[in-house]
Amino acid sequence: MDQELLAPLAGQVLAIKCAVGDTVEEDEEVVVIEALKMETPVFAPCDGTVKEIRVKEGASVEEDDVLIILST
């Protein structure tokens, strides 16, 4: 089953901490978004494998944009 990981807020993608095919654990930090001078980490909602990364580092995202798709 696919699980979408959404941007919790609008901002710039500061870091992507996983690659397609990586196995991630629940609550592992996978993306960091910078907005309003603060870094907001985005955590994996569940254990899974990174199926697709929809954004690049430095890209601007809007709230609820899909960042990553995990296969669970």
Partner 1 sequence: MRRYFEKMDDVGRELRKGEVKRTDDNVAALKEVEAELDAAVERVKTTGLSTEKINERGQMTVWQRLEYLVEPGTWCPLHTLYNPLDNPEDTTNVIDGIGKIGGKWAVVIGFDNKVFAGAWMPGQPENILRVTQVSKRLNLPLVWLVNCSGAKLPDQEKFYANRRGAGTPFYRHAELEQLGIPILAGIYGTNPAGGGYQGISPTVLFAHKNCNIAVGGAGIVSGMAPKGHFDVETAKGLIEKAKEFRDEPPGTVKTHYDETGFFRYVFDEETEVLDALKEYMAEMPAYHPRFFRVAEPKPPKYPSDDLYRVVPLEPKRVYEFEQVLARLVDSSEHTEFRPGYGPEVYTGLCKIDGFLVGVVGNRQGYLGKDYPEYGDYPGIGGKLYRQGLIKMNEFVTLCGRDRLPIVWIQDTSGIDVGDAAEKAELLGLGQGLIYSIQQTDVPMICVVVRKASAAAHYLMGGPPANRHNAFTVGTAASEVYVMHGETAAVATYVRRLIKEDAAGRPLEPVVEQMNELAQQYHDHSRPVYCARYGMLDEVVKMSELRRYLVAFAGAVYQNPKSICPQNHMVLPRLIKG
- In the complex, the residues that contact partner 1 under the rule CB under 8 A are 8-10, 25-29, 34-41, 43-44, 63
Q: Which is nearer to partner 1, 41 or 66 (CB)?
A: 41
Shortest Å distance, C-beta 38 to partner 1: 5
Question: Per this entry, what is the length of the chain?
Answer: 72
Minimum distance from residue 1 beta carbon to partner 1 (Å): 19
| Helices and strands (H, E) in the chain, number of each type | 0, 8
3 or 8: CB nearest partner 1: 8
Report in angstroms the alpha-carbon separations of 5 from 43, 54, 63, 70.
8, 10, 11, 7
